[in-house]
Amino acid sequence: MVTAPAKKVTRKAARQKAERRGHRAESIAVWLLRLQGFRILARRYKSPAGEIDLVARRFGLLVFVEVKARANTADAAWSITPHQQKRIRRSGEHFLATNPAYQNDHIRFDAILVRPFAWPTFVRNAW
């Protein structure tokens, strides 16, 4: 019996797959935030310090959200490193500096953890 050779997964293909998974997770996170009354101000906000997955606002509360998609919630939570937290904090400061209309809002850093076939976990005040 002849079998087909195993597909060789290139780094580029793996990166593209991870990128698609990240976009899907962010779309799920957007809907979760909207269901809770948030207005999405930015997706993948880029600053010199880095990128914030989502910036959302509700009733004077400005939320910077990191979205993680993993097989389980624990892996997703542990994947947010102190270095990433610092980068997101600095990017949040950049967002506020370039959007002075939100400078009087209360600020919060949240995480939304997405796993397959389960409701996402919304971690408020993640750090």
Higher pLDDT, 78 or 63: 63
Q: pLDDT by residue (tens digit) across 9-33?
A: 688 888 887 788 878 999 999 999 9
The domain that holds 21 is classified in CATH as 3.40.1350.10
pLDDT band per the 50, 70, 90 thresholds, residue 61:
very high
In a domain, 5, yes or no: no
Q: Is residue 4 part of a domain?
A: no
Give 73's pLDDT tier (boundaries 50, 70, 90).
confident
Domains in the chain, number: 1
Q: What pTM was computed for the model?
A: 0.84
Q: Which residues sit opposite 45 in a β-bridge?
A: 52
Q: Report, as an integer, the average pLDDT of 54-83.
A: 90
pLDDT at res. 33: 98
Find the domain containing 30 and state its range.
11-123
